[in-house]
Amino acid sequence: MAPRALRAAGLLLVIAVACALPFVMSNFRLFQFTQVYIYAIAILGLNMLTGYNGQFSLGHGAFYAIGAYVSAIMMDKWNVHYAWTIPVAGILCLVVGFLFGLPALRLEGLYLALATFSLALAVPQILKYFEHWTGGSQGIVLSKPNAPFGLALSPDQWLYFVTLGVMVLLFWLSANLLRGRVGRAIVAIRDNHIAAEAMGVNTSLYKSLTFGVSAGYTGVAGALSASAIAYVAPDSFNVFLSVTLLIGAVIGGLASISGAVFGALFIQFVPNWAQDISKAAPWAIFGVFLIVFMYVMPFGIAGAIRLLWIRTRRSRVAHAPESRETAATQAPTTR
Amino acid sequence: MTFARKLLAVAMAFGVLGVTLAPAASAQTVVGVTATEIKIGNTNPYSGPASAYGTIGKVIGAYFKKVNDEGGVNGRKINYITYDDGYSPPKTVEMVRKLVEQDQVALLFQTLGTPPNSAIHKYMNQQKVPHLFVATGATKWNDPKNFPWTMGFQPNYQTEGRVYAADVLKKHPNAKVGILYQNDDYGKDYLKGFEDGMGEAGKKMIVLKQSYEVTDPTIDSQIVNLKNSGATVFFNITIPKFAVQAIKKAHDIGWKPAHYLNNVSSSLATVLKPAGLEASKDLITALYMKEVTDPQWRNDKGFTEWVAFMKKYYPEGALDDQANGYGYNVAILMAHTLKQCGNDLSRENIMKQAANLKNVELPLLLPGIKVNTSPTDHAPIEQEQLARFNGEIWQTYGEIFDAFRKQ
The pLDDT tens digits of the residues spanning A52-73 come to 998 889 999 999 999 999 999 9
The whole-angstrom separation of Cα B75 and Cα B55 is 28
Query: Testing the interface with A: which of B55, B65, B97 to mutate, by most A Cβ within 10 A?
Result: B97
Sign of CA dihedral B11, B17, B19, B25: negative
Predicted local distance difference test score (pLDDT) of residue B20: 44
Residue A1 exposed, middle or buried by CB count within 10 Å (0-12, 13-18, 19+): exposed
The pTM for the full model equals 0.82
Predicted local distance difference test score (pLDDT) of residue B393: 87
Cβ of A229 within 8 Å of Cβ of B88? The answer is no
**Per CATH, which fold does B157-287+386-402 belong to?**
Rossmann fold (3.40.50)
CB B68 within 8 A of CB B78: yes
The pLDDT tens digits of the residues spanning B140-169 come to 899 999 999 999 999 988 889 999 999 999
Predicted local distance difference test score (pLDDT) of residue B25: 41
The alpha carbon of residue B98 is apart from the nearest alpha carbon of chain A, in Å, by 7
Residues from chain B that touch A27, judged by Cβ atoms under 8 A, are 97, 101
Q: Which helix (H) or strand (E) holds B338?
A: helix B322-341
CATH of domain A25-296: 1.10.3470
Find how far residue A320's CA is from the centre of its chain. Answer: 34
Which residues of A sit within 8 Å Cβ distance of B? 26-28, 31-32, 35, 125, 128-129, 131, 136-139, 141, 143, 225, 229-236, 238, 240-241, 275, 279, 282-283
Sign of CA dihedral A180, A183, A189, A191: negative
Cβ of A233 within 8 Å of Cβ of B118? The answer is yes
A236 closest CB neighbour out of B90, B185, B215 = B90
The 3-state secondary structure of chain A reads CHHHHHHHHHHHHHHHHHHHHHHCCCHHHHHHHHHHHHHHHHHHHHHHHHHHCCCCCCCHHHHHHHHHHHHHHHHHHHCCCHHHHHHHHHHHHHHHHHHHHHHHCCCCHHHHHHHHHHHHHHHHHHHHHCHHHHCHHHCEECCCCCCCCCCCCCHHHHHHHHHHHHHHHHHHHHHHHHHCHHHHHHHHHHHCHHHHHHCCCCHHHHHHHHHHHHHHHHHHHHHHHHHHHCEECHHHHCHHHHHHHHHHHHHHCCCCCCHHHHHHHHHHHHHHHHHHHCCCCHHHHHHHHHHHHHHHCCCHHHHHHHHHHHHHHHHHCCCCCCHHHHHHHCHHHHC
pLDDT at A17 over 80: yes
The alpha carbon of residue B212 is apart from the nearest alpha carbon of chain A, in Å, by 12
**Per CATH, which fold does B37-155+299-376 belong to?**
Rossmann fold (3.40.50)
Residue ranges, comma separated, of all CATH 1.10.3470 domains in chain A are 25-296
pLDDT class for B14, splitting at 50, 70, 90?
low
Mean pLDDT of B222-245: 93
pLDDT at A263 over 90: yes
pLDDT at B402 over 90: no
Say what the ipTM of the complex is: 0.83
The alpha carbon of residue B59 is apart from the nearest alpha carbon of chain A, in Å, by 14
pLDDT at A24 over 90: no
Cβ of A141 within 8 Å of Cβ of B102? The answer is no
The alpha carbon of residue A258 is apart from the nearest alpha carbon of chain B, in Å, by 25
Mean pLDDT of B209-233: 90
The residue type of B135 is: A
Predicted local distance difference test score (pLDDT) of residue B8: 56
Residue B4 exposed, middle or buried by CB count within 10 Å (0-12, 13-18, 19+): exposed
Question: Which residues are CB-neighbours of B357 under 8 A, at least 6 positions away?
Answer: B333, B336, B337, B340, B371, B372, B373, B380
Find how far residue A316's CA is from the centre of its chain. Answer: 35
Mean pLDDT of B104-120: 93
Residues from chain B that touch A35, judged by Cβ atoms under 8 A, are 90, 94
Select from B296, B302, B299, B323 the least CA-distant residue to B393. Answer: B296
Residues from chain B that touch A269, judged by Cβ atoms under 8 A, are none
Predicted local distance difference test score (pLDDT) of residue B405: 58
Cβ of A229 within 8 Å of Cβ of B48? The answer is no
The pLDDT tens digits of the residues spanning B183-203 come to 877 888 899 999 999 999 888
The pLDDT tens digits of the residues spanning B296-314 come to 899 999 999 999 999 999 9
B93, closest residue in chain A (CA to CA)? A229
* Domain limits, chain B: 37-155+299-376, 157-287+386-402
Q: Identify which has the larger pLDDT, A318 or A130.
A: A130
The alpha carbon of residue B359 is apart from the nearest alpha carbon of chain A, in Å, by 32
Residue A91 exposed, middle or buried by CB count within 10 Å (0-12, 13-18, 19+): middle
pLDDT at A19 over 50: yes
The whole-angstrom separation of Cα B127 and Cα B106 is 12
Residues from chain B that touch A32, judged by Cβ atoms under 8 A, are 94
Predicted local distance difference test score (pLDDT) of residue A333: 42
| Contacts across the A-B interface (CB distance below 8 Å) | 83
Q: At what angle do helices A155-179 and A2-20 cross, to 10 degrees?
A: 160
Residues from chain A that touch B84, judged by Cβ atoms under 8 A, are 275, 282
The whole-angstrom separation of Cα A311 and Cα A295 is 19
A126, closest residue in chain B (CA to CA)? B215
The alpha carbon of residue B46 is apart from the nearest alpha carbon of chain A, in Å, by 9
Mean pLDDT of A107-119: 86
